[in-house]
């Protein structure tokens, strides 16, 4: 799959088979064989007898892969023999399309409608649209559409109000029906309980889910249902917005779970859902033992969780991305039921193009060896970025040590904020290590373009100029970002843990060298630019940044040497 797509959507079909890996593989094979598709995750569940598959690609490629998968599922899954804990109504139970980049929800919904029409016409499978693809408010909600499940749909499909959006109003016993739609990113998340009671699990689910529970007179379980003036049941809302939840028993694990769909993780993130369920469970004498992610999760969700739990401990949040994810996994108990591998469960990690981060994935000795080789890259630009990253890392280290220094407990938040800034700068500079080499490689690619005709020569010259301009901008960015780190280093030299003042000093030396080294690359690359106004301007700005770095270095070293007296 190409790493560059103007429009990118995700598809997360749920197939009603979670036990027979041969059947599952037949379905995923047709997805993977579709040009322009990248299969990200296959997550089978034995107890639910259901597999959640995640793949991404261009809208056209995704719709083609989804159609092929729905067709194959109808061939290899017999719904008349299906049993499982999860509600379901078809071999491909639900097939949502999710906008990832370069495409609106409205456009995505149109693709869902086209896919639904094709499935209904060519495969003869009844299709219901849901969420953003559905114009009828009464039929937008998946659980409302699926009510009655497979067994009840033979009669339900004949009701005028439940005529399919596409396909005949006849329910095929083998394939069942399919729900296709467009929605925002949804996190499917199960929370583990130290009980086997589905009734108690459901009680907790009703406590937290947005719709809550039906209001009753007297006894909350057996009392008479309270209706409004129109005869509809009155609901007591739950405590979490944008959350759907039910309780169930998972025989595979021998425990009850709260099965949740977090439909808007900006409103209710994973860590808030976990803590609220923990609270409600404790009120009922039940303990949360861990949790389980179904499918994939955005990186930011786990970063936010790591920060949340560190703040609860009054610990510095200015730690690496890897450490934040580790804290999140342990705090949420995501590894209780099996290993949780971030590289396989975080969507950004699966989409990452490793060819563009070759250098930063090397060992220290490997990076040094590569630098010393006869290859011209990595060169001074990448080394400057790495020196800047090391300087920022040292300033961040002093902030973290200061945050955890005995006797300075009341200042943990002050230093945590400095450390968090330092981590962001360090991460940006680390990415620029590879980006500087990538920029150099773009120039080499442009130089290799054909130059036989006048048109080819013109195109080649334009490509060289564009690549050279970018190769000038990258080291300038290194200068700007590194200079920001020197404010942190200076603050840590002044107010941080005095035992680490020399670390701040070394950080200043790294940062100044990074700025000066990057400036050399700005100047040499700017020499090849035909746009002299741009070249002169960036050189002038670079000189100013270099002077500021030298001044800050002198000020920091004075603080350090004064404290060493």
Q: What percent of the chain has pLDDT over 90?
A: 82
pLDDT digits (tens, 9 = 90+) for 183-226: 988 899 999 999 999 999 999 999 999 999 988 888 877 788 88
Length of the chain: 565
Angle between helices 454-495 and 412-447 (to 10 degrees): 160
355 band by pLDDT with thresholds 50, 70 and 90 = low
Choice between 117 and 219, residue whose per-residue pLDDT is larger: 117
Q: What is the pTM of this model?
A: 0.77
- Which neighbouring-strand residues pair with 86? none
Alpha helical stretches, state H, 338-379: 342-345, 347-351, 364-372
Q: Are strands 178-182 and 127-131 parallel, antiparallel or unpaired?
A: parallel
pLDDT of amino acid 377: 78
pLDDT-derived band at 1 (thresholds 50, 70, 90) equals: very low
Reference 76, options 38, 25, 127, 41; nearest CA is: 25
Is 20 one of the annotated active-site residues of the chain?
Answer: no
Predicted pLDDT of residue 354: 67
Write out the two tokens for 125: 């499978």
Catalytic residue, chosen from 43, 86, 93, 304, is 86
Report the pLDDT averaged over residues 169-195.
94
* Catalytic residue flag (residue 184): no
Residue 205: closest CA among 233, 238, 235 = 238
Query: What CA–CA distance (Å, rounded) separates 272 from 258?
Result: 14
The predicted structure's pLDDT at residue 361: 85
Cα separation of 447 and 463, whole Å?
8
**Residue in the block written with tokens 């004075």:** 558
Whether the link from the prior residue into 190 is cis, omega within 30° of 0, is no
Gap between the Cα atoms of 425 and 386, Å rounded: 12
Which residue ranges form the domains of the chain, and what is each CATH number? 8-182 (3.30.990.10), 187-351 (3.30.70.670), 358-564 (1.20.120.680)
Distance CA 300, CA 312 (A): 18
Range with the poorest average pLDDT among 284-288, 318-322, 344-348: 344-348
Structure tokens at 336: 């209780």
pLDDT of 49-91, one tens digit each?
Answer: 999 999 999 999 999 999 999 999 999 999 999 988 888 999 9
SS3 state at 563: helix
d(CA 249, CA 560): 62
Which residue reads 């469960």 in tokens? 345
Of the residues 93, 207, 436, 503, only one is catalytic, namely 436
The two most distant CA atoms of the chain are separated, in Å, by 89
Q: Which structure tokens are listed for 426?
A: 């360090």
Q: Calculate Rg over the CA atoms of the chain.
A: 29
What six digits make up the tokens of 411?
Answer: 């200042």
Give Cβ neighbours of residue 443 (< 8 Å, ≥ 6 apart). 464, 467, 468, 471
| Tokens coding 392 | 């920022």
Residue 468, C-beta contacts closer than 8 angstroms, at least 6 positions apart: 443, 525, 528, 529
């Amino acid at each position: 799959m190409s790493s560059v797509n103007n429009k990118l959507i995700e598809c997360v079909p749920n197939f009603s088979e979670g036990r027979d890996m041969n059947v599952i593989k037949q379905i995923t094979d047709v997805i993977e064989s579709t040009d322009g598709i990248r299969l990200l995750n296959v997550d089978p569940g034995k107890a639910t007898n259901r597999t959640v598959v995640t793949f991404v690609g261009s809208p056209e490629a995704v719709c083609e892969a989804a159609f092929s998968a729905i067709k194959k599922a109808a061939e290899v899954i017999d719904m008349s023999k299906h049993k499982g804990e999860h509600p379901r109504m078809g071999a491909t139970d639900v097939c949502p399309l999710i906008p990832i980049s370069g495409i609106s929800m409205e456009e995505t919904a149109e693709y869902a409608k086209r896919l639904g029409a094709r499935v209904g016409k060519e495969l003869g499978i009844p299709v219901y649209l849901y969420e953003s693809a559905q114009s009828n408010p009464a039929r937008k909600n998946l659980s409302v559409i699926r009510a009655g499940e497979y067994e009840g749909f033979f009669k339900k499909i004949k009701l005028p109000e439940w005529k399919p959006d596409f396909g005949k109003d006849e329910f095929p016993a083998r394939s069942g029906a399919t729900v296709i739609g467009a929605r925002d990113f949804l996190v499917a998340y199960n929370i583990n309980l130290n009980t086997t009671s589905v009734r108690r699990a459901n009680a907790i689910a009703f406590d937290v889910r947005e719709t809550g529970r039906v209001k009753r007179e007297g006894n909350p379980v057996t009392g008479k249902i309270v209706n409004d003036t129109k005869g509809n049941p009155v609901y007591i809302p739950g405590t979490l917005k944008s959350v759907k939840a039910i309780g169930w028993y998972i025989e595979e694990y021998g425990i009850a779970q709260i099965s949740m769909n977090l439909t808007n993780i900006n409103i209710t993130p994973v860590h808030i859902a976990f803590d609220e369920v923990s609270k409600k469970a404790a009120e009922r004498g039940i303990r949360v033992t861990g949790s389980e992610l179904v499918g994939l999760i955005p990186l930011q969700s786990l970063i936010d969780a790591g920060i949340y739990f560190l703040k609860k401990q009054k610990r510095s949040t200015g730690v690496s991305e890897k450490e934040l994810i580790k804290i999140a996994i342990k705090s949420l108990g995501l590894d209780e039921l099996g290993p949780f591998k971030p590289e396989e469960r975080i969507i950004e990690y699966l989409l990452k193009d490793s060819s563009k981060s070759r250098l930063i994935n090397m060992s220290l000795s490997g990076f040094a060896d590569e630098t010393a080789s006869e290859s011209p890259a990595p060169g001074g630009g990448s080394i400057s970025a790495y020196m800047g990253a090391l300087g920022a890392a040292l300033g961040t280290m002093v902030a973290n040590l200061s945050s955890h220094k005995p006797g300075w407990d009341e200042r943990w938040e002050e230093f945590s904020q400095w450390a968090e800034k330092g981590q962001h700068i360090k991460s940006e500079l680390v990415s620029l290590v590879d980006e500087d080499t990538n920029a150099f490689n773009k120039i080499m690619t442009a130089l290799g373009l054909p130059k036989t005709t006048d048109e080819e020569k013109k195109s080649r010259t334009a490509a060289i100029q564009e690549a050279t301009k970018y190769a000038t901008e990258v080291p300038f960015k290194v200068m700007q970002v590194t200079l920001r780190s020197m404010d942190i280093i200076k603050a840590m030299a002044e107010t941080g843990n005095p035992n680490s003042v020399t670390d701040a000093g070394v950080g200043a030396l790294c940062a100044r060298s990074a700025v000066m080294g990057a400036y050399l690359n700005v100047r040499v690359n700017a020499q090849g630019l035909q746009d002299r106004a741009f070249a002169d301007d960036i050189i002038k700005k670079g000189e100013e940044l270099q002077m500021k770095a030298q001044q800050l270095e002198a000020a920091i070293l004075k603080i350090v040497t004064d404290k060493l007296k």
